[in-house]
Amino acid sequence: MLIGIAFWVLAVIAVATGLAVFVVNSMARATYALAVSFIAVGVQILLLQQNYLGLITILMMVMEMAVMAVYMVMFMGMNPALMPMDMTHGKKTAIATSVGVFVLLAGGALLIPWPQRRGSPPADLTHALGLEIMGEKMLVMAVVGAVMVATIVAGVVLASHRTRYDRFGDDLRHRRVNDAQPGGGKQ
């Protein structure tokens, strides 16, 4: 009963704040409306007794939204991010796509013959879920994780305008860093 109420309250919060993302006129509000939506989803996952996955979802999404605030200033030129603005663009395509996807997913969820539960849930749900999703590919997944990090680092190095050789000299021996802007930002 209590879990049922919690589920519905969280579901309403998740959907309402998700809608708010497109209604509000401030990028900060949109960002954190999305964060609240994700937190509600994270708590839903906690209701499924997937404690680890639920907390990690909240952790990652909040951090992601905070980093989004950094990007807001970094990449948005003359900081329109700091002004009131419309949060939507490409409206017709976006509405058509989202209605289509919603009908597909909701129709699928309603029409599919859901299987009856066989047996009982295992003691450690997160462990079982991990095995179910990855199984014997766990090693591949672990390697892919490292490759992804290496790709991100390489991407940043390639994209960056100035390298450590610009900052510390050709022999990397300059004690004083040669930066136009403290922290090695662009000139």
Partner 1 sequence: MTDSGLVTVSAGWAVVAGAILCSLAVFAIALDTGLTARAQGARGGWTTIAGRFARLLRQRRRTTVAADTMLWRAGGVGMFIGAFFMVAVIPLGQWTLADLDVGVVWLNTIDVLVWALVWLTGWGANSTYSLIGGYRFLAHGLAYELPLMFALVAPAIAAGSLNVGAVAAAQDDDLWFVVWMPVAFLIYLIGVMGFSVWGPFAAAVATDITGGAGTELSAVDRLVFHAGRYLFLAAGAAFSVPLFLGGGAGPWLPDWTWVLIKTLAVLAVLVWSRRKIPLMRPDRFMTIGWTLLLPAIVVQDLVVSVLVVWKG
Q: List residues binding partner 1 (CB under 8 A).
A: 26, 28-29, 32, 35, 51-52, 55-56, 58-59, 62-63, 65-67, 69-70, 73, 82, 182-184
Q: Could you tell me the two tokens for 112?
A: 């599919």
Alpha helices per DSSP H over the chain: 2-23, 27-47, 51-75, 91-111, 125-134, 138-159, 164-168
Distances (CA, A) of 7 to 43, 48, 106, 110: 9, 10, 18, 18
Of residues 32 and 41, the one with the C-beta less far from partner 1: 32
Of residues 18 and 46, the one with the C-beta less far from partner 1: 46
Q: Shortest distance, CB of residue 170 to partner 1, whole angstroms?
A: 19
Q: Shortest distance, CB of residue 182 to partner 1, whole angstroms?
A: 5
Of residues 75 and 114, the one with the C-beta less far from partner 1: 75
Question: For residue 61, which amino acid is it?
Answer: M
**What is the C-alpha separation between 180 and 43, in angstroms, rounded?**
46
Q: Shortest distance, CB of residue 124 to partner 1, whole angstroms?
A: 9
Contact (CB, 8 A) for 30 and 49: no
Of residues 51 and 97, the one with the C-beta less far from partner 1: 51
Q: Shortest distance, CB of residue 149 to partner 1, whole angstroms?
A: 11
